[in-house]
Amino acid sequence: MSNQSRLFVGTVGEGLWSLAFENAENKNAARLSNGLFIEADVRAIQVHPTIPDRVFVGTNCGLFRSVDAGSTWELLPAGFGTGWPGTTDLTVWSLAISAHNPNQLFAGTCPSGIYRSTDGGDTWARLNAPLALECGHILYPRVTCIVPDPTESGTIWVGVEIDGIRRSRDFGETWETLGTGLSSLDIHAIKIILDGAGKKRILAATNNDLNLSEDNGATWTPCGVKSLFPWAYCRGMAQLPTDPLVLFVGNGNGPPGSSGALQISRDGGGTWMQAKLPHVPNSTVWTFAVSPNTPNTIAAATVSGYIYVSEDAGLTWSKLDREFGEIRAIAWV
């Protein structure tokens, strides 16, 4: 970890927090609320890949942008509703910036919708993606993840809970539904894995398994993690930027769950081992953040407020003393 770094923590009902680190030690926690509703539900955080002071957060009060690393915030005219200080009809659940054009941003909402900006977030338009607007006992489906394809500049992958996988190959103009062979349409996360030979594999985390595609999403095969993990429920995923074959999967006994585990693969999902955490997770391990400056530094959060940090690519972990009520998103800034 660099001498000075910060971990942003998005919570439900407690707004956005910044945890400052110095020489790997967490020094203090501060709530970021200058222009951002102090008790917002923050479910998505996206840091600009080349301008680290530019940060986007998705909330139940709209989509916000900071150009000074969180000191101040502005509500963006994204069309989600009235925005701060009230609540909107739509909650932003996911954010992504194109791997090929950092001025192109995507936002996913609940109820399900996909929005795009082509000017760095100044203006937004809803995309014409075929998404379900109602969903059984959970009432409203939500776009849980948006993944720009690192190998195809126009391709965007979208996971929907509970409505399967969508893909666009023209920057969001048209969409196709994928999912043949999926163990479940309850999609929580998608990761694209490229091995040293350039072979592409795609993993999708669901409520009852991990699913693997080796034909660019045309078909999927359940991995059968119930025999490998303590529970079949899989949530967030992450991978090392320096070695995309090193994968992390959040595991637990449900949403939010009362127990959790962190699974690690160092061969692109071929084999897995459970991380030895210093304190038993109090719920499902929900989300991850990988430091852009020191890529061996990873943070993992449980949905019920624990945060773990590893500085050696997941070999060893420490738990932060600071705990939160409910965490939905984390990001290194």
Q: What is the pLDDT along the chain (333 residues), one digit of tens a residue?
A: 445 689 999 999 999 999 998 655 666 899 999 999 999 999 999 999 999 999 999 999 889 999 999 999 999 987 776 444 444 578 999 999 998 899 999 999 999 999 999 999 999 999 999 998 888 888 889 999 999 999 998 999 999 999 999 999 999 999 999 999 999 999 999 999 988 777 899 999 999 999 999 999 999 999 999 999 999 999 999 999 888 899 999 999 999 999 999 999 999 999 999 999 999 999 999 999 999 888 899 999 999 999 999 999 999 999 999 999 999 999 999
Q: Report how far residue 280's alpha carbon sits from residue 253's, in angstroms, rounded to the nearest whole number.
A: 13
Determine the length of the chain: 333
Q: Report how far residue 262's alpha carbon sits from residue 83's, in angstroms, rounded to the nearest whole number.
A: 36
Q: Report how far residue 330's alpha carbon sits from residue 301's, in angstroms, rounded to the nearest whole number.
A: 8
pLDDT reported for residue 83: 47
DSSP-assigned beta bridge partners for residue 273? 264
Q: Report how far residue 319's alpha carbon sits from residue 288's, in angstroms, rounded to the nearest whole number.
A: 14
Sign of CA dihedral 323, 329, 332, 333: negative
Instruction: Catalogue all structural domains in the chain, each as residue range(s) with its CATH number.
Output: 4-332 (2.130.10.10)
pTM for this one?
0.93
Nearest CA to 115 out of 182, 53, 46 is that of 46
pLDDT reported for residue 87: 46
pLDDT reported for residue 85: 46
Nearest CA to 240 out of 316, 309, 312, 306 is that of 312
Q: What integer best gives the mean pLDDT of the chain?
A: 92
DSSP-assigned beta bridge partners for residue 301? 287, 307
